[in-house]
Amino acid sequence: MGNFLIILIFAITIYVGNGQRIKTLNIGALFYDDEYEIEESFVKTINLINSQNEVHIKLNPLIRRLYETEGSAILENKAVSLVENGVAAIFGPSSKTDSDIVSLLCNATGIPHILFDYLSEENDMLKVNHRMTINVFPSQAIMSKAYADIVQNFVWKKFTIVYNSEDASAPYRLQDLLQLKDINEKIVRVRTFKRGGDYRILWKSIKGERRVVLDCPPDILVDVLNASIPFGITAQFSHMFLTNLNTQMANFDDLRDNVTFAVNITAARLKLRESLNEDMNVWNSTDLLTMKLLPDLVHDAVMLFYLAVKNISVMYKINPPQITYNYQQEVEDPWPMGLYINRIMKVIASSDDSHFHYGFMQFDDSGHRNNFTLDIYEPVDNYLLATWDTDGHISQKEVEITNLKKIVYKVATRIGEPYFMLKEDAENRTGNDRYVGYAVDLITEIANVLKFDFLFVPVADNNYGKLNKETNQWDGIIGELINNDAHMGICDLTITQKRKAVVDFTVPFMQLGISILAYEKPIEQKPWNAFMEPFTNDVWVYVMISIFIIAFLFLFMARVSSSEWQNPHACNKDPEVLENTWDISNSFWLTMGSIMTAGSDILPRSAPMRTFNAMWWIFAIIVTNSYTANLAAFLTNSKMEGDIKGVEDLAKQSAVKFGTIQGGSTYTLFSESNETTFRLAYNMMQSEEPSVYTKTNDEGVERVLKNNGTYMFLMETTSLEYNTERNCKLKMLGETFGEKHYAIAVPFGAEYRSNLSVAILKLGELGKLFELKKKWWSYENNDCPQQEQGTSENNDLNFSEVRGIFYTLFVGIFVAYVVGITEFLIYVQHVAAEEKLTYKEALIKELKFVMKVWNNKKPITPGCSTRASSHMSGSTDKSSKSSKSRRSEMFKIDSRPELLEARSIKSLKSAIVNNIRDPRI
């Protein structure tokens, strides 16, 4: 502002009192011979100004034409001729010249120099020599910032910059984007081309690239784009940003009707004055837009100069410069009014935009335009998307698009149950009708919500997506998305950090984890005598022989041991006979009872007998405990993996091998984890030979079945549940770990990703995701023995394993009852004979008594008492003559009337004792 006041005082001092007006003011211009549109706009603008005659100033255009074959010397001569003709300003030349001779000339003579085309970046030394230059074309440095802001708004994480190598100013316009290449070459690639060259070589080098920043002149733009079509650059959902501000001048008619040209194109252009179509003054009635950047900027440049002259001429007389220029000598007296006009132009540019096509202008100290607005638009169908201002703000516009091409989404997937499978008669079907599975149903549901068409594209290698470190290329579904061969990928595709670095994912449609797939050994049917398996047949034979031999040896020792012969009646101090309680039945019962840990009601008395019995008990304990210990091992399903309950157990053993899919998400979890157990498990898998890794889940399942329990497979729980549901020989071991999510993968920056996520959330809220999971995971024909599967993990016995014990019990009870019933029937025969009854009557009588379970007392019949008395005598009496005489005496006693009147066993015993004590006996 201080400089402005100084200039104003200086001008007043020189021109005060001078009321005469300049009638004609020469305006010089330098145009190339093929810039007829720019020249025409220049002349029309001057004629428009002269026709208004607002300040009685007539602008007289003096034009010098240039040719590209001419050098800087000729350019200087033509510029000098304009100076010598007293021009008040020089416009041009355009950026076709690589010389700043005109700027230097104007700076030396004080004549305003106004440019309308881009100017290469200047250093501080050049700025000193260009003080009289103003450029209405946007500053290249700010344009570079604008392009970086727009690309950042696109959220591109990877892209390629393409520009004309013959355009020296292109690197300046793109410098902010090119700086990203210096930071990370994997994010930003740079390619160049030459006008008239083979553009196919350019596009082949970046085949499949989905994000491109293209700086290309509009006259060759269509040719360059057509060359990219065979290489997938312009396929659906690719995005291309065109930086040339004159892009709208390209002829997009052929591309507009080309079905293979489906790329999303965005371009930038200077924003027109918002009030342009609303102003109805005399200027707007004739001031028509050419819709071409440079001609319209020439208009703005001439109007800017005119407005400055108009403001000055109100008070001051403007005398045209009269300068003789000699390039060998410095100009001693530059035109003083030139600097003043230059300053006024900078002041009024930002105060009034009514005469400019591209709105307000603002310049920095070097004369560069640093205030403008860009339209971000779609150039093919020409509709506005957003606007950018120099503050870096991008304002989105609501646009209704009605002429979009019909989009058919390509869905990359892989064959794998139950997500994506071929129908049995797939060879007789076409298109999507050939496939069935969870992924097919899910995409169909999403398509019904979002109203789009899709086509399944199974990947050739049937892989999920793995990075090849040697080629730095992705394969499988991820590779299809990166190479722009598909618009989305779906299957059991896990979200991982590496994949998120190259593609985007929707919200998850399924949550899962990792577990262990193991072989379920079939439950063997044990034989009925399985309880005898702890001992071999010969051991059982030896044990049975030992019982019989020990019983007879025990009997023999008891008979030779004097301590075992005892008085049968303790009250009789002088017995006639001694009795030995060890007969064959008692000896056998003690021997058998000892080995069965049942004990006996009689025990040996002598030291030899007790020693003998103690040794037998030691033997019995060892045999019994050995049988008990081995019984559990033989009656349960011993499994090699019985002690494996999870990954930690796997990592601590070496008998069972385990693996997972090579390069899959589970592999990545183990290889990149810092957890000790996972690292140990990964190292074990890496060291195994042959490799324990597989290419697919199906291969892993097959390997588990083939190895019969010596191989386990780490896999995601969804696939694990699906396989165990359909194969009784498979089971899941341990708890779930390593939480994961399945989602739909889309290329970076895909605009439709948010719509897919919303559709997935909607399906989840409606219960559709649960229904689809149930539909494809449940198996109606599952006939696996669920109860046995459930108990196979522990040592509990089932009936099939111990049924032999029950059979033995039933046989023993049956034999006992057969013997008891036989004895009962014989007893009934005796009762019938004694009581003079028929056999039937006696049988009914005894059965009635047997059924009275509450009666524990039974009357003795005479016959029965005789038999009972005979049983009370010692068994040893039967082998001696004295025993025979005693038996005859006892029979006599038994016939006494007191015994006959006895009604119970107790009274019988009492009568016998009394008779024994009777001195008459």
Q: What is the pLDDT of residues 90-101, one digit of tens each?
A: 998 998 888 888
Residue 830: the pLDDT is 87
> Six-digit token pair at 176?
């902010």
Residue 263: the pLDDT is 83
Q: Cite the annotated binding site by residue number.
A: 494, 499, 665-666, 716
Contact predicate 294/39, CB 8 Å: no
Contact predicate 333/327, CB 8 Å: no
Average pLDDT over residues 3-29: 58
Average pLDDT over residues 426-447: 92
Q: Cis peptide leading into 61, omega within 30 of 0?
A: no
Average pLDDT over residues 296-307: 92
Cα 749 from Cα 299, distance rounded (Å): 40
pLDDT tens column, 673-700? 888 889 999 999 999 888 999 988 889 9
Cα 108 from Cα 801, distance rounded (Å): 114
Instruction: Output the pTM of the full model.
Output: 0.58
Residue 801: the pLDDT is 58
Q: Cite the annotated binding site for L-glutamate by residue number.
A: 494, 499, 665-666, 716
- pLDDT band with cut points at 50, 70 and 90 for residue 266: very high
> pLDDT at residue 914 above 90?
no
Residue 155: the pLDDT is 78
> pLDDT at residue 162 above 90?
yes
Cα 479 from Cα 463, distance rounded (Å): 9
Residue type, 869: S
> pLDDT at residue 267 above 50?
yes
Contact predicate 169/120, CB 8 Å: yes
Residue 125: the pLDDT is 64
SS3 475: coil
Q: Is 868 exposed, middle or buried (0-12, 13-18, 19+ CB in 10 A)?
A: middle
> pLDDT at residue 287 above 50?
yes
Residue 160: the pLDDT is 93
Residue 912: the pLDDT is 56
CATH number of the structural domain 22-137+291-363? 3.40.50.2300
pLDDT tens column, 558-582? 777 667 777 777 777 777 777 777 7
Contact predicate 349/361, CB 8 Å: yes
Cα 431 from Cα 439, distance rounded (Å): 15
Cα 845 from Cα 851, distance rounded (Å): 10
Average pLDDT over residues 298-315: 89
Most confident option among 325-339, 454-468, 866-880:
454-468
Distance of CA 474 to the CA centre of its chain: 17
Among candidate residues 11, 31, 577, 77, the one with its CA nearest the CA of residue 308: 11
Most confident option among 248-252, 397-401, 406-410, 917-921:
248-252
Of 198-207, 596-605, 652-661, 712-721, where does mean pLDDT reach its minimum? 596-605
pLDDT tens column, 505-564? 999 999 988 999 998 876 666 666 666 777 778 888 888 888 888 788 877 777 776 677
Residues 6+ apart with CB under 8 A from 670: 660, 678, 679, 681, 682, 685, 714
> Six-digit token pair at 816?
């006992």
Residue with tokens 């995971």: 777
Residue type, 80: V
Cα 244 from Cα 797, distance rounded (Å): 83
Among candidate residues 574, 576, 575, 581, the one with its CA nearest the CA of residue 559: 581
pLDDT tens column, 813-870? 677 678 778 888 888 888 888 888 888 888 888 888 778 767 666 666 554 444 444 4
Residue 528: the pLDDT is 64
Cα 266 from Cα 242, distance rounded (Å): 6
Cα 468 from Cα 393, distance rounded (Å): 40
Higher pLDDT, 162 or 10: 162
State the DSSP string of 502-521.
TSEE-S-SEEEEEEEEEE--
Residue 881: the pLDDT is 40
Share of the chain above pLDDT 90, in %: 27
Q: Cis peptide leading into 690, omega within 30 of 0?
A: yes
Residue 79: the pLDDT is 92
Residue 909: the pLDDT is 52
Arithmetic mean of pLDDT over the chain: 80
> pLDDT at residue 808 above 70?
no
pLDDT tens column, 772-805? 998 998 877 666 765 444 444 445 555 665 566 6
Residue boundaries of the structural domains of the chain: 22-137+291-363, 530-566+579-634, 805-845
**Cα–Cα separations (whole angstroms), residue 228 to 195, 201, 252, 755:** 15, 9, 15, 29
Residue 879: the pLDDT is 39
Residue 301: the pLDDT is 94
Contact predicate 439/414, CB 8 Å: no
Residue 636: the pLDDT is 55
Residue with tokens 């390619």: 191
Residue 906: Cβ within 10 Å count: 10
Q: Which residues of 160-171 are buried (b: 16+ CB within 10 A; e: fewer)?
A: bbbbbeebebbb
Please report, in angstroms and rounded to a whole number, the separation of the first and last CA atoms in the chain.
Answer: 163
Among candidate residues 70, 85, 73, 79, the one with its CA nearest the CA of residue 33: 70
Residue 522: the pLDDT is 67
Residue 869: the pLDDT is 44
Q: Cis peptide leading into 418, omega within 30 of 0?
A: yes
Cα 815 from Cα 808, distance rounded (Å): 10
The correct answer on CATH 3.40.50.970 for the domain covering 530-566+579-634 is: no
pLDDT tens column, 461-487? 889 988 888 888 899 999 888 877 788
